Amino acid sequence: MRPDGLRLSARHRVWLHSTFALLFLSGAVWWVLQRWFQVETEFGPHPHRAQRWLILLHGAVAMVALIIIGTLIPLHIKRGWQARLNRLNGTLLIAFIALLTLSGYALYYAGSDSLRNTANDAHTVLGFALPAMLLWHIISGRRARRH
């Protein structure tokens, strides 16, 4: 973290961006395999064998991502809020991450198929939208810092 608490250090950016890239890629590849590459057997369609490892990776990286988000709270988020910079898209980004976390949790612990299907749809849409939200936050933050 830089002294002003708003700009992330190069190391922090690398951790943040690489974690979220791996999170996105593991989820996106899992989704593609689930949607178009199921294996047909005599007992019907079965998941591609890579899906198991991708979902395990996705869950593990999600936990790392939550830790990294937690490291942003004391300085980056707090000082950005106090400086009244990037509030709208910062709030939306946090909301996206919170909804992704809740929908991911619901995928494992939902009590009904309809709730699980809703969580799956929400998680997929939000997951594919997250890179755009993150990019919007970064670009807006750089513009705000220049002015």
Regarding whether 77 and 135 lie in a shared domain, the answer is no
Q: For residue range 66-87, list pLDDT tens digits in order.
A: 999 999 999 899 999 998 889 9
Regarding whether 115 and 59 lie in a shared domain, the answer is no
Regarding whether 141 and 69 lie in a shared domain, the answer is no
Q: For residue range 34-65, list pLDDT tens digits in order.
A: 999 988 888 888 899 999 999 999 999 999 99
The pLDDT score that the predictor gives to residue 90 is 94
Regarding whether 113 and 124 lie in a shared domain, the answer is yes
Residues 6+ apart with CB under 8 A from 133: 89, 92, 93, 96
Domain extent at residue 109: 85-147
SS3 label, residue 48: coil
The pLDDT score that the predictor gives to residue 126 is 97
The pLDDT score that the predictor gives to residue 135 is 95
8-state DSSP, 2: -
Distance CA(110)–CA(107), nearest Å, equals 6
Regarding whether 68 and 4 lie in a shared domain, the answer is yes
Q: Cα 69 to the chain's mean position, in Å?
A: 10
Regarding whether 136 and 123 lie in a shared domain, the answer is yes
Count other Cβ atoms within 10 Å, centred on residue 61. 20
Regarding whether 74 and 93 lie in a shared domain, the answer is no
Contact 106, 136 (CB under 8 A): no
pTM of the model: 0.89
